Structure formats: structure tokens, C-alpha cells
Amino acid sequence: MKPLHTCVRVKDLEASLIFYKEALSLKEDRRLDFPDQEFTIVYLRAEGYDYEVELTYNYGHGAYELGDGYGHIALGVEDLEASHKAHKEAGYPVTDIKGLPNQKPMFYFITDPDGYKIEIISLPVFEGHD
């Protein structure tokens, strides 16, 4: 099987698009509007990759309850420290850079406008190239 996309439901499509484009460098790939059914789907992807993040906006819906089952989306970067610094300086909510028990620091989390967590992972460390 081939992973295709992850869907997150958003309360403010424009705020979410700004976040995913500016903070995570994802680009809008395509948009499907269904005004009669009152929803819009926007697919975002990183340049050079097939996998997408789908933002689903249901007209007039307020904030969603995230529940305790959702974990996070993970994205890889070549320079973790530079990415972390840029996110902090831009004012995005981020955690400190962390590692798993007994392992070197290799990730941090950033939170989108709806409260979804996105894990930013060091590609060299994650892929075993450090």
C-alpha cells in the first residue's frame, strides 16, 4: 500500500493555510469546493513528494474536539536546529528539541491553529545518517 494523505478538519481554512504554507513550507496542490454540501478540501504537499496533508473545512463549523487518540503528523527536515529557531522566532508554539529515552535530541513539536501537533524530525538522525 502507498500512503496518500492525512486529513485534518479545520475551523478557519485561511488561518490553517497560512500556517501550513509559512511554518511548514507546504504548497497547495489542489482544491475541491463543494458549496452545495458546504465544505472545501485543500490538499497540500511538500515539493518533490507525493504524500499530502488534506485540510477539510466544513462551512460554519467551530473548533473540533481533538480527543485523546490523535497523535501527530511527522515531517522531516535536514537542519533541525535552524527549523526550530525559525519557528520560535516566528512566534509559533513549539516545544524544546527532545529525544527518546537514552537517545540524542532529534525532534520537536509545533502546534497548528486548531491544536494539531506536528512533529518536526531531524532527517539525518531519523534515517540513521548522523
The residues annotated with a catalytic role in the active site are 119
User: CA–CA distance from 82 to each of 31, 55, 78, 110, 129 (Å)?
Assistant: 31, 27, 9, 14, 18
Q: Is 52 helix (H, G, I), strand (E, B) or coil?
A: strand
Question: What is the sign of the dihedral through the CA atoms of 47, 50, 51 and 57?
Answer: positive
Q: Which three cell numbers stand for residue 15?
A: 488561518
Q: Which three cell numbers stand for residue 18?
A: 497560512
